[in-house]
A = this chain, B = another copy of it.
Amino acid sequence: MKGKIAIPRTTIERLPLYYRCLAKLDKMDIEVISSKELGERIGVPSTQVRKDLSYYGEFGRRGVGYEVKLLLKNLERILGLNNHWPIVLVGAGNLGRALVNYEGFRKLGLEIKAVLDTDLNKIGNSISGITVQSIKNLKEVVEKYNIKMGIIAVPAASAQQVADQLVSVGIKAIWNFAPTRIIVPEDVKVKNEDLSVGIIGLVYHLARNE
């Protein structure tokens, strides 16, 4: 393990894949796995698996492989999944509703604590037991639940404004589903989950092979 060298962005992006694969292996009661097998399951070479993990420590046994439970625990810690993370969601449209119902969250220690919107027609509605509140309550709910993560599921036109509000109440991580780039201070991390970009990439490949 190296102390100083920056961890490649691509390595960090693969960690969730290792994590999920190991969780599955553990469920199947598989106790030990080699970097070769693990790599095959997620589609990367064994050297890549070993290199990626080496940035965080030595988790394997030479000649044997990696103990699934042990590596899983370590990845959980590295990824921050041993904590509970409350979330505020802004935007109670179709996508917002889908996200509230997304089963993947709770399993990861994530929980949408509040759903906010500006639309008076939506405020007061219930989504899977959560009442949609006015965006005016943002500060209140963020403080109440000690929320650090926000989801933007509003139209592109209001995304920046929502981002500004989130930043102003101390949100440090934003998952942005609006199809636009949002500008935030350096210490706030943004993950753009831009659906139209994803599908345009697919169309590109389709068009090439016609």
Q: Is the CB of B85 within 8 A of A94?
A: no
A175 on the interface (CB 8 Å rule)? yes
Q: How far is the CA of A105 from the CA of B209 in the complex (A)?
A: 21
A200 on the interface (CB 8 Å rule)? yes
Which residues of B lie under 8 Å from residue A197 when comparing CB positions?
13, 16-17, 20
By beta carbon, the residue of chain B nearest A80 is B207
A73 CB, nearest partner CB in chain B, Å? 15
Q: Is the CB of A173 within 8 A of B12?
A: no
Q: Is the CB of A202 within 8 A of B181?
A: no
Which residues of B lie under 8 Å from residue A13 when comparing CB positions?
197, 201
Given known A-B contacts A98-B97, A149-B206, A108 and B193 have beta carbons under 8 A apart: no
Helix, strand, loop or mixed for chain A's interface? helix
Copies of this protein chain in the complex: 2
Which residues of B lie under 8 Å from residue A97 when comparing CB positions?
94, 97-98
Seen from chain A, the residues whose Cβ lies within 8 Å of a Cβ on chain B are 12-13, 15-17, 19-20, 41-43, 78-81, 83, 85, 93-95, 97-99, 101-102, 104-105, 108, 110, 148-149, 172-175, 179, 181, 187, 189, 191, 193, 195-209
- Between A and B, 10 residue pairs with Cβ closer than 8 Å are A17-B197, A19-B200, A79-B207, A83-B207, A85-B206, A104-B196, A149-B203, A172-B209, A173-B203, A193-B195
Q: Is the CB of B200 within 8 A of A81?
A: yes
Given known A-B contacts A20-B196, A94-B98, A203 and B85 have beta carbons under 8 A apart: yes
- Name the residue among A19, A94, A198, A209 with the largest chain B CB count within 10 angstroms: A94
- Name the residue among A17, A42, A99, A203 with the largest chain B CB count within 10 angstroms: A203
Q: Is the CB of A148 within 8 A of B206?
A: yes
